[in-house]
Amino acid sequence: MSDTESTPADDAARENAHEGGDEVLAAAAERFPDVVGCESLGQAVAYVPRESWRPFAQWLRDEQQFETCVDVCAVDHLLNRSRHVPPGVSPERLEVVANFLSRARNRRLRAICEVPIAEPTVPSLAPVFAGADWPERETYDLFGVVFADHPDLTRILLPDDWAGHPLRKDDAAARVPVQFKGPRATPSQQSLERDATGETASR
């Protein structure tokens, strides 16, 4: 590297160096006309319809050098009805969010899929990115999003017979009673308690 070349000093600078990811979003617009691209906090964001969710992920892997799906999660917007979405995107209560990493291109991309609460189903990314397996199970467990064609879509945190999905905003808060044990009494405190109850005097 020559002395005239600048090196980003931190992660924020590296994000800015690839600001918006316009080359990937431009290519996505050509390949997937139903995908809406925008920028959020210096990162490229693609709003992807459910029918294009898995083909879009496979295209990122095979043609855009995004070799890693970092995570898959969900957001319940029940109490956030005024949230901003780009023009051309119809907001739904649930969003499934996947973050992709390209080490070859030193950049990230976030993909968002709007999911209706009445039919919370999206194609699984596990057949494309094996690392999406457990994050999708966790999202199913806590939000109730069904990932079609997942190899083992079972609960991963809660018991199999658990009713409901606790990270949905309409799930009853504190419906499971929790019992906290008090601090253990010291020997001197135990002696005082015996004296107070007359246990010592009766001996």
Residue 199 has a pLDDT of: 54
**8 vs 75, higher pLDDT:** 75
Question: Does the pLDDT at position 80 exceed 70?
Answer: yes
pLDDT band at 2 (very low <50, low <70, confident <90, very high): very low
| Domains by residue range for the chain, with CATH | 11-172 (3.30.460.80)
Give CA–CA dist 165/170, Å, rounded: 9
Stated pTM of the model: 0.76
Question: Does the pLDDT at position 203 exceed 90?
Answer: no
Average pLDDT, the chain: 85
- Residues 95-116 have pLDDT tens digits of 999 999 999 999 999 999 999 9
**Ramachandran area for residue 149 (φ above 0: left; ψ -120 to 50: alpha; else beta):** left
